[in-house]
Amino acid sequence: MPKVSPKARRLYVRVPVWANALGGVLLVTQLITGISLATASTRTPVAVPVQQRETPIPATPVPADVETTPEPTPEPTPSPSPTLEVDRIPEGTVVRLKKYSGTPSPVIGEVRDRKARLRYAELGEPWKPAKGQPEGLFSDGRYSTRQTFVTEEYGPDLDNEWFADIDAQRLWSDLDGGDSPYDAAVAMLDYKQENNFPRGTKGKDVASQRVPNGWLVAREMRMPPSELGRKARLELAVAVAVETGADRPSVIWITIPETHKRLWPDVSTVVSSLRVLR
Q: Which CATH number fits domain 85-276: 1.20.1250.20, 3.30.450.80, 1.20.120.330, 3.40.1000.10?
A: 3.40.1000.10
| Mean pLDDT, range 57-62, rounded to an integer | 49
Give the per-residue pLDDT at 139. 58
Contact 143, 130 (CB under 8 A): no
Cα 56 → chain centroid: 54
Q: What is the pLDDT of residues 34-48, one digit of tens each?
A: 545 444 444 444 444
| 170: DSSP letter | E
pLDDT, tens only, 199-252: 999 999 999 999 999 999 999 999 999 999 999 999 999 999 999 999 999 999
Please report how many Cα atoms fall inside a 13 Å half-sphere around the Cα of residue 13, on the Cβ side: 7
pLDDT of residue 96: 98
Nearest of 185, 109, 172 to residue 144 by alpha carbon = 172
Output Rg (C-alpha) for the chain, integer angstroms: 57
Strand, coil or helix: what is 95? strand
- Is the pLDDT at 6 greater than 60? The verdict is no
- Give me the DSSP letters along 107-153: EEEEEEETTTTEEEEEE-TTSPPPEEPPSSS--S-S-SEEEEEEEEE
Query: Cβ distance 165 to 263 under 8 Å?
Result: no
Residue 101: is its pLDDT beyond 90? Answer: yes
- The predicted pLDDT at position 140 comes to 61
117-160 pLDDT, tens digit each: 999 999 999 999 999 987 655 556 789 999 999 999 999 999 99
Mean pLDDT of 15-43: 49
31 falls in which pLDDT band (50, 70, 90)?
very low
pLDDT at 33 over 60: no
- pLDDT at residue 133 in the model: 83
Averaged pLDDT for residues 65-87: 56
Model pLDDT for residues 86-95, shown as the tens digit of each residue: 999 999 999 9
Question: pLDDT (tens digit, 9 = 90+) per residue, 162-201?
Answer: 999 999 999 999 999 999 999 999 999 999 999 999 999 9
50/121: higher pLDDT: 121
For residue 40, give the 3-state DSSP assignment.
Answer: helix
pTM value > 0.75? no
Q: Where are the domains of the chain?
A: 6-37, 85-276
